[in-house]
Structure 1
Amino acid sequence: MAAALRADEELMYEGQPKGFPFGNFNVEDVMLPEGDDMGIPSEDEAEEEQEIQSESGFGNVILIDGLPQAGADKYGKLTAILQKIAGGVGPVREGGVTHPVDSANGQSKGYAMVEYESPEAARAAAAALDGYALDKNHRFTAVLFDEAERVAAVPDEWTPPEARPAAAMQDAMGWLGDARARDQFMARHGDDTEIYWNDVPKQQGELVYARPFWTDSFVEWTPQGSLLCTLHRQGVALWGGADFARFMRMQHSGVLAVAFSGDERFCSTFAEPLPGPQGHAHGPPSAFSLCVWDARSGEKLRAWEGPQADYAVGAAARPDGGLAWNAFKWSGGQERPYLAHLKRGAVAVYEAPEFHLLDKKPMRVPNVQLIEWSPADPLLAAYQAEEGNLPARVAVFSLPSREELRAKNLFSVAGVALSWHPQGDYLAVQVDKWTKSHKSTTTNFELFSLRERDTPIDMMELPSRTEKVHALAWEPKGVRFAVLHGDGAKVSVSVYSMRGSGGGLGARGVELVVSWPNKQASTLAWSPQGRYLVLAGTKHTHGGVLEFWDVDEKALLSAGEHFGVTAVNWDPSGRYVATIVDASNSMDNGFRVWSFAGALLYKFDRDRFFQFAWRPRPPTLLSNEQVADIQKNLRRYAKRYEEEDEALLVAADSEFVAERNKLLDEWKTWHGAKLRWAKDAQANGVVRPPVSDFTIQKVEVSVIVDQKEEIVKMA
């Protein structure tokens, strides 16, 4: 029953339907004040506004140059062809094609203007038609009309801009000067993002910086760890320095992903239209935009916009047919970066810093389906699927020369996966092949040795070719790789070496090092320094089982458990490893830090835990000879570091004792004050109430002072 209105309220809501404003009324009967739509335009007004926007500007008009100059006899046919081409890439407004004619000679002027139904459609059409080959002598140049006007307005004489003083920048690498050589990590949980030192002697993380609502989606370290990148609806921002001040921001509405070049100088951002009200998308549902930026100045260097279908080729296509976020791939290493993406039958490679197409044309690779850059060199591996009588093949190309270093033909291919060694020394090609019946598959590996003359290829098969391969992981700074294989809940882990018996530089041939059967593992995690390998059960069926192995000694160092673990992440030094349980699990969110040998050091539990990432380190400035000399004479340095570690432990104990003494002193002060108060009260005749007026209740409380977990090996 609606509440009764007072007299002043009846006057206020005069003319409104009965029951207004308490809910039981018809919205259609509500009368809005004249000229006031309460911020909610009607459907008619929305359509009228859209019509006005479409007809009053040139945002939905493109200019196409490069057309033939046709006389009156061919003008109609050329215009019809132009209308068909323009309509094939987007919806053209009725009568929207304007093909001017020169009144002096009666020939067309060689350009045309096309008006599309929306600015989004016009941008997509300009991207699709730019470079379109009408015939061998005529290639289109298509730009937005507004862009053509802007270019035409540029004065003929260039006036250099006034130099602006550079903003003071904090030292982005200052964290590397930590006296205790600690690493930092980022933890994101709830609405908070926090940066910590990994303070192992104190068995906890030391907070460096914390900020709520720092990002709208996720954060990411740059490849060398100098800056932290946050993603927002408006674009991305870069932060760094001791107090994580903002270094740069780049506006790209609706950004979903970001990727950096290896030298951190450039980055790319990816966006696609997001669903709006009632499920309608803001723009064509198949559109996307990718921008390349100078990360130091924030300048936009290049942009790609258009239908996703033109770029969603092979592995670059998502299961729903859209374009994968990582379809544009940065080359590895510290040399001049390249950016590459798949095309139909080709690979487009763009060269920094202008990001023009390398050699002004795509690299022809027939039926290419997958590409992967070497992490260390400008080498590109490409997989080409079978087509007709042509077999499938995997080839490695050197850029910018486009030289094919080595290729391997493959037959009866069901699937291929490419896996580069972290230092680019080797490339593993996992080949799943159909059996003759096409009802099952077998697996073998083609292993390219990139550092050896003529790039030799070794072929390796597992003892049982029909076993399923779950993962392959290369040993960093080493010559070994581990394979996770088998069927059922328990699988096997086999470690192979790329050097044969003796292991010398001249030795070749793949050799089995060790195999561990019946393991509850789904993830292989090598230490970034090599030698140590963690087997982790990151699937729900594996219960979070962890095993820490020394592959050199083929020995199990320790076994542990982190129930619900979803990821394993080594720190850059290889001394510590974190196991993470993120918010995809409803319980026990957070992470644990372990030593390389599997000793649990400390825990970090937080609800709604989303992300953990160690801060990367830049490449060492030491030569290989200097690193080898340090490793050879490590015992000489060990004593000094042991003394420093001991001093830190003593300092930590001293801090703990000092805190205990401080609390004891505070309690003694409080207790003494209460004793003086009691004596003064007694001297002034204050009578203490009899004990019988009170109820005394004894309560026992248990407090866990310390807790340690130890793995006991049963005899």
Structure 2
Amino acid sequence: MAAEVKLMNEIEATAAQMDIDMNIDFSSIQLPPGENFGIISDDEDVYHDDQLELDSGFGNVIVVDNLPVVPREKFEKLEGVLRKIYSQIGVIKEDGLWMPVDPETKKTLGYCFIEYNTPQEAELAKEKTHGYKLDRAHIFAVNMFDDFDKYMKVPDEWAPPEIKPYTPGENLQKWLADEKARDQFVIRAGTDTEVLWNDARQSKTELVYKRTYWTESFVQWSPMGTYLATVHRQGAAVWGGANTFNRLMRYAHPQVKLIDFSPGEKFLVTYSSHEPSNPRDANRVVINIFDVRTGKVMRDFKGSADEFAIGGAGGVAGVSWPIFRWGGGKEDKYFAKLGKNMISVYETETFSLIDKKSLKVENVVDFSWSPTDPIIALFVPELGGGNQPARVSLVQIPGKEELRQKNLFSISDCKMYWQSNGEYLAVKADRYTKTKKSTYTGFELFRIRERDIPIEVLELDNKNDKIIAFAWEPKGHRFAVIHGDNPRPDISFYTMRSTHNLGRVSKLTTLKGKQANALFWSPGGRFIVLAGLKGFNGQLEFFNVDELETMATAEHFMATDVEWDPTGRYVATSVTSVHEMENGFNIWSFNGKLLYRILKDHFFQFLWRPRPPSFLTPEKEEEIAKNLKKYSKKYEAEDQDVSMLLSEQDREKRRMLKEEWEKWVEVWRRAHEEEQLERQKLRDGEASGEEEEYEAKEVEVEEVLDVSEESLLEIFVREFWVMTFMFEWVGEHWTELSTLAVQKLFDEKPLTDLTEEDEEIIKSVVAGTIPSYSLESELGDCKRAVAIRRESLQRLMGKSLSGLPLEGFDYKSILGFHCEMPIEYVQISEGIVGLLLLNGGEFSVPMATTEGCLVASTNRESLF
């Protein structure tokens, strides 16, 4: 909506009505010292360290040299040729093409000036047409007009540069030597960016560094945690240190939007996108690759967004970040870009294409580097309606040798997942059914380090299950899959190495009906967080894959992100500003204990500071693990000291609170005493507030310390198994229990005939619609209840329960009663469960049943 325009006299009239004085000298207004009201960044020096270079106004002008020298009658023809060439790149301004003429010969001077609408178009024209061959004698030399001014300022005589004295920098790895072995993380909330220690022992954070307006969009750690990158309008900057984050280098790139570090932290890639002057044209993309330490641009790439789109397709697919993907491990030797029918692989020694040409692959749509080796996995979809199958290929770089290929048929989609050590590659292949109306999923598993790279095919038990998530165990041989179409999907764990079958993939277990849609493995393996984000509202399950058991379940309501710390000791869950409420983060132990919680309004980012890989050999790490007890004594003593310190701090805090309370009570006690005479006067001499007028009562308060939940069906089945065994044992050893006068009660008798009504009740008990322990109260007949329950149990467990019901016993005498508990009990919704002593052993029996009454009375050596 356009802004409303008002005349100055209207504004003055409105101000007069509101008693606002317009006679203000704005130049006389001064802000308080150090106050800027958030208008200028704290990091203003990032932009103004150097003298500001004013725009000359000619950044959109290029000079084209080596043109034909023509007379006036050929001006139009030459101008038409030039316009045809350069109007394809951008919009030339009106009267924006000028060819100077020699006043004596009336011929052109062999060069021209071309003015575009934007500097970006001029830059692109220079890049595209420099070296353009008009004919054999005329090869264009194109320069920016502003470059001439720069070159003219170069002095004729060389002057040696001033040598600045060397000042040693801060140790950028100092934070790794923290005495408490803590990790750092960075958060962004509102306009503040903070770097903090995770002091989990004391369940709190410790501030390392804080800065307002430190970045204009986001921050990003380098892969090994050496640098913290910030993003600004003029470019990017990196900062480092343990306690004081000093700026180490700046990288000029106007309107930068995205950044990406190489794995070894040697290079930084920056990206920006600029709108064209012609709405019909695609956005212009600029990518720079900087040397991190020197800030020098090693290579730049410019072009339309279509040229950098996935597979060169453009359109809906658009640009995928990172455009350049790094390979070859931590050495930063290679980087590659996906193009149309090719993969362009560059080496960082010269920043040029390997063998000066791209890897030609018809219709390639995706590729992925091995995390540790110079191996590319690429995917080509089906062609010709299935006549040419899809395929996944492994290609060795720099030789471009194909190591392995697998053809895939009836493929609709494909995703590739590398294991962190590069030992395995999982290819998720979505295939069409025969009718082409639906798809199903399977996995192709490549064993990269084994001879000839064998491939295994894995299909889920229900191959029609939708795959929701897949994740390899870091540095391990296991992987997890979330699959299913239900609101509560299943989670299956597999291993590439099992004790019984070393060369085959095998399933470890399947967890049924979990509220999870994301998998987060610990960096050290073994532990995994099964997270239910988005629609599951932050459900968390901490699972031990070694023991195949759940350590804890928890919830961080509306959680959007989950991230393990680099050591695998702690987990951070956060709610970012995509939600308006509950913004902040929680820190958990690896086994699911909530350590502390911090709320922050407008919370944007939480990032653990990565650690560099260990310099220890695997053998040395194994030796340390074996001798861990020797090292652990020191840390156990430190933990004990910390616990004592925390206890002392808690005691001190309670003591101070008590002192404050006693002081407060004393103040009011004195006030009460001082006002006593006044109160007596107001009450005609009657005393008030005396203690004898009150009666002290002692009140008992019960607190539930622990509640154990267990399925009633599990209790019922398990306890009756025990009861069955007990009755059979009593039947076999009755002579040893001759002191009991109930031997005749245990003689086996034929089962009482069951009526049709009894049969219907048995079916309901087996189906679980009628609880069997409620039969006595429902039927009003204990003997009939025992008979029905016995038959129900026999059908459920397939085991004979001979000896029940007992003949010769007066069942009516116990109807409506529970027996007295022999030892202890736990109250449940239906009846009582207790411990039974029998021949020196302890057994659990449902005491709300007729059988329970019989057994408990037998235990007390008494008859009913």
**Residues 565-587 of structure 1: CA distance to partner in whole angstroms, max 9, x if unpaired?**
21211111111112222222222
Paired residues for 1:120-131 under 5 Å = 120-129=120-129
Matched, 1:296 2:293: yes
Matched, 1:340 2:336: yes
Aligned 8 A contact 1:260 1:330 in 2: no
Structure with greater helix share of residues: 2
Q: 1:78 to 1:337 in 2, by over 3 A?
A: farther
Normalising by the residue count of structure 2, what TM-score does the alignment of the two structures yield?
0.66
Matched, 1:203 2:203: yes
- Between 1:91-100 and 1:475-484, the stretch displaced more is 91-100
The structure with the largest alpha-carbon Rg is: 2
Structure 2 Cα separation of the partners of residues 538 and 268 of structure 1: 31
Q: 1:100 to 1:501 in 2, by over 3 A?
A: farther
Q: 1:148 to 1:598 in 2, by over 3 A?
A: same
Report SS of the residue matched to 1:21: helix
Aligned partner of 1:587 in structure 2 is 581
**Residues 294-352 of structure 1: CA distance to partner in whole angstroms, max 9, x if unpaired?**
22222232222221111113399584x64234222233621134332222222223332
Structure 2 Cα separation of the partners of residues 361 and 246 of structure 1: 39
Aligned 8 A contact 1:316 1:324 in 2: no
Query: What amino acid sits opposite 1:534 in the alignment?
Result: V
Structure 1 Cα separation of the partners of residues 8 and 611 of structure 2: 68
Identity of aligned pairs, percent?
Answer: 42
Paired residues for 1:618-637 under 5 Å = 618-637=612-631
Shift of 1:370: 1.6
Aligned partner of 1:86 in structure 2 is 86
Q: 1:416 to 1:661 in 2, by over 3 A?
A: same
Q: 1:299 to 1:182 in 2, by over 3 A?
A: same
Matched, 1:512 2:507: yes
Query: What amino acid sits opposite 1:360 in the alignment?
Result: K
Match of 2:568 among 554, 559, 574: 574
Structure 2 Cα separation of the partners of residues 232 and 688 of structure 1: 74
Shift of 1:127: 3.6
Match of 2:637 among 615, 640, 643: 643
Match of 1:529 among 512, 524, 530: 524
Aligned 8 A contact 2:282 2:306 in 1: no
Q: Which one scores higher on RCO, CA 8 angstroms, separation ≥ 6?
A: 1
Aligned partner of 1:329 in structure 2 is 325
Aligned 8 A contact 1:123 1:306 in 2: no
Structure 2 Cα separation of the partners of residues 138 and 574 of structure 1: 65
Q: 1:712 to 1:580 in 2, by over 3 A?
A: farther
Q: 1:666 to 1:367 in 2, by over 3 A?
A: same
Aligned partner of 1:449 in structure 2 is 447
Structure 2 Cα separation of the partners of residues 368 and 693 of structure 1: 99
Shift of 1:493: 1.0
Structure 2 Cα separation of the partners of residues 464 and 208 of structure 1: 51
Aligned partner of 1:53 in structure 2 is none
Aligned partner of 1:405 in structure 2 is 403
Report SS of the residue matched to 2:179: coil
- Between 1:620-629 and 1:450-459, the stretch displaced more is 450-459
Structure 1 Cα separation of the partners of residues 677 and 143 of structure 2: 94
Query: What amino acid sits opposite 1:293 in the alignment?
Result: F
Structure 1 Cα separation of the partners of residues 293 and 70 of structure 2: 49
Match of 1:21 among 6, 12, 15: 12
**Residues 644-673 of structure 1: CA distance to partner in whole angstroms, max 9, x if unpaired?**
21221112222333444456667889999x
Shift of 1:83: 4.4
Report SS of the residue matched to 2:553: strand
Matched, 1:616 2:610: yes
Structure 2 Cα separation of the partners of residues 156 and 288 of structure 1: 37
Q: 1:669 to 1:713 in 2, by over 3 A?
A: closer
Query: What amino acid sits opposite 2:246 in the alignment?
Result: A
Structure 1 Cα separation of the partners of residues 169 and 639 of structure 2: 34
Aligned 8 A contact 1:120 1:284 in 2: no
Structure 2 Cα separation of the partners of residues 510 and 633 of structure 1: 33
**Residues 451-480 of structure 1: CA distance to partner in whole angstroms, max 9, x if unpaired?**
223322222222222221111100001011
Matched, 1:306 2:297: no
Report SS of the residue matched to 1:175: helix
Report SS of the residue matched to 1:255: coil
Aligned partner of 1:459 in structure 2 is 457
Structure 1 Cα separation of the partners of residues 680 and 218 of structure 2: 61
Structure 1 Cα separation of the partners of residues 401 and 70 of structure 2: 43
Structure 1 Cα separation of the partners of residues 705 and 581 of structure 2: 20
Aligned partner of 2:540 in structure 1 is 546
Match of 2:466 among 455, 468, 475: 468
Q: 1:712 to 1:627 in 2, by over 3 A?
A: farther
Aligned 8 A contact 2:282 2:305 in 1: no
What is the number of residues matched between the two proteins? 648
Shift of 1:524: 0.5
Structure 2 Cα separation of the partners of residues 137 and 547 of structure 1: 74
Q: 1:87 to 1:294 in 2, by over 3 A?
A: same
Matched, 1:171 2:171: yes
Structure 1 Cα separation of the partners of residues 143 and 682 of structure 2: 92
Aligned 8 A contact 1:261 1:337 in 2: no
Shift of 1:492: 1.2
Aligned partner of 1:371 in structure 2 is 367
Q: 1:599 to 1:626 in 2, by over 3 A?
A: same
Aligned partner of 1:259 in structure 2 is 260
Match of 1:435 among 433, 437, 447: 433
Report SS of the residue matched to 1:201: helix
Q: 1:303 to 1:688 in 2, by over 3 A?
A: farther
Q: 1:457 to 1:667 in 2, by over 3 A?
A: same
Paired residues for 1:148-227 under 5 Å = 161-227=161-227
Aligned partner of 1:478 in structure 2 is 476
Query: What amino acid sits opposite 2:234 in the alignment?
Result: Q
Structure 1 spans left out of the alignment, 5+ residues: 1-15, 25-55, 697-706
Structure 2 Cα separation of the partners of residues 228 and 654 of structure 1: 38
Report SS of the residue matched to 1:556: strand
CA RMSD in angstroms, aligned pairs only: 4.4
Q: 1:194 to 1:390 in 2, by over 3 A?
A: same
Q: 1:690 to 1:513 in 2, by over 3 A?
A: same
Shift of 1:536: 0.8
Structure 1 Cα separation of the partners of residues 705 and 637 of structure 2: 27
**Residues 468-509 of structure 1: CA distance to partner in whole angstroms, max 9, x if unpaired?**
111110000101111111113111111122235536xxx322
Q: 1:659 to 1:422 in 2, by over 3 A?
A: same
Aligned 8 A contact 1:184 1:614 in 2: yes
Aligned 8 A contact 1:413 1:434 in 2: yes
Shift of 1:601: 1.7
Aligned 8 A contact 1:100 1:108 in 2: yes
Report SS of the residue matched to 2:513: strand
- Between 1:524-533 and 1:239-248, the stretch displaced more is 239-248
Report SS of the residue matched to 1:176: helix
Shift of 1:713: 4.7
Aligned 8 A contact 2:172 2:240 in 1: yes
Structure 2 Cα separation of the partners of residues 601 and 564 of structure 1: 19
Shift of 1:90: 2.0
Report SS of the residue matched to 2:577: coil
Aligned partner of 1:561 in structure 2 is 555
Report SS of the residue matched to 1:627: helix
Shift of 1:123: 1.7
Normalising by the residue count of structure 1, what TM-score does the alignment of the two structures yield?
0.78
Report SS of the residue matched to 2:331: coil
Shift of 1:382: 2.1
Aligned 8 A contact 2:225 2:610 in 1: yes
